[in-house]
């Protein structure tokens, strides 16, 4: 029996738990703000607190793998535990790894994050397509096979991204538009939502010149500390706003280590997103 597609699982999680993704980003400065040491013990305490507080509340967790990798194998062990415990609590896990390579190396990344036999098996992973969209094929195929998802970097919120993403190709389209078009083709006919999504920054203003209707989820970083608010979402995403998954990290995490503070902050952001999106047609 084929696993249920990620897009269907994500749609249900967003409807039931609220359209919100909470990043798990254990910056050294954030550990210090929580009164924790910048070491593996502090990392483990921070991560466990977030997962235990929010694992039965939020739709999606997005651990940033770099903040765990910096502690080597012991940091990765903390990440493995967090992924497993988050999924046990019913939250989906989107691994923010931004991997991109070619051939067998891309296949190895797919095995790491999208193979159920891996200790880092996640519901979805972020990917960088800037070795060519086709280079992602091993991960795209693994995602479909295993009921997982991917989020392809398309229009990111960092200013430096524009020199690549908004570069104009020989056919007159931008690179970002080409990535969105690929995803739209991949997701054609999927219901209620495709499993292959795009990363599109919530801080970018009016994006009506881009076709964001890819029939897949749109991960929207930038809410909270980066300056965007849930009220900005309809302007940025237009008719595609119903498929937006806003991502908040510091806006929620700064309310820790108190579990009640974390839960209240996440609930507030989710409610603000619901209000902003309203009855958007999906």
CA 271-272-275 angle, to 5 degrees, is 85
DSSP letter assigned to residue 203: T
The answer to whether residue 184 is catalytic is no
Structure tokens at 106: 């891309």
Residue 31 CB neighbour total at 10 angstroms = 18
Residue 207: in which H helix or E strand, if any?
Answer: none
Structure tokens at 252: 């929620």
* Burial of 267 per CB tally in 10 Å (0-12, 13-18, 19+): middle
80: helix, coil or strand?
Answer: helix
Structure tokens at 5: 């597609």
Looking at 98, 137, 254, 263, which residue is catalytic? Answer: 98
Cis peptide bond upstream of 192, omega within 30: yes
Instruction: Report the relative pairing of strands 92-99 and 60-63 from DSSP bridges.
Output: parallel
Catalytic residues: 98
């Amino acid at each position: 029996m084929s696993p249920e597609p990620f897009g269907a699982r994500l749609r249900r999680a967003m409807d039931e738990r609220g359209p919100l993704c909470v990043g798990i980003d254990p910056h050294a400065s954030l550990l210090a703000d929580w009164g924790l040491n910048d070491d593996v013990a502090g990392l483990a305490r921070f991560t466990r607190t977030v997962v235990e507080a929010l694992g039965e509340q939020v739709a999606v967790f997005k651990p940033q793998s770099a903040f765990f990798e910096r502690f080597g194998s012991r940091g990765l062990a903390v990440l493995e535990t967090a992924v497993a415990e988050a999924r046990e609590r019913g939250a989906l896990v989107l691994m923010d790894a931004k991997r991109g390579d070619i051939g067998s190396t891309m296949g190895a990344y797919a095995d790491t994050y999208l193979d159920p036999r891996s200790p880092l098996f996640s519901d979805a992973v972020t990917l960088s397509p800037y070795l060519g969209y086709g280079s992602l094929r091993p991960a795209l195929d693994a995602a479909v096979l295993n009921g997982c998802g991917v989020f392809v970097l398309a229009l990111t919120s960092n200013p430096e991204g524009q020199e690549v993403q908004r570069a104009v190709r020989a056919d007159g389209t931008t690179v970002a538009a080409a990535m969105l078009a690929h995803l739209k083709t991949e997701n054609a006919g999927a219901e209620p939502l495709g499993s292959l999504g795009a990363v599109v920054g919530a801080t970018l203003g009016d994006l009506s010149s881009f076709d964001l209707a890819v029939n897949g989820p749109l991960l929207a970083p930038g809410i909270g500390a980066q300056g965007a608010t849930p009220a900005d979402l309809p302007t940025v995403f237009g008719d595609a706003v119903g498929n937006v998954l806003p991502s908040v990290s510091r806006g929620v995490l700064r309310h820790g280590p108190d579990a009640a503070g974390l839960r209240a902050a996440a609930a507030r952001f989710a409610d603000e997103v619901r209000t902003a999106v309203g009855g958007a047609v999906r």
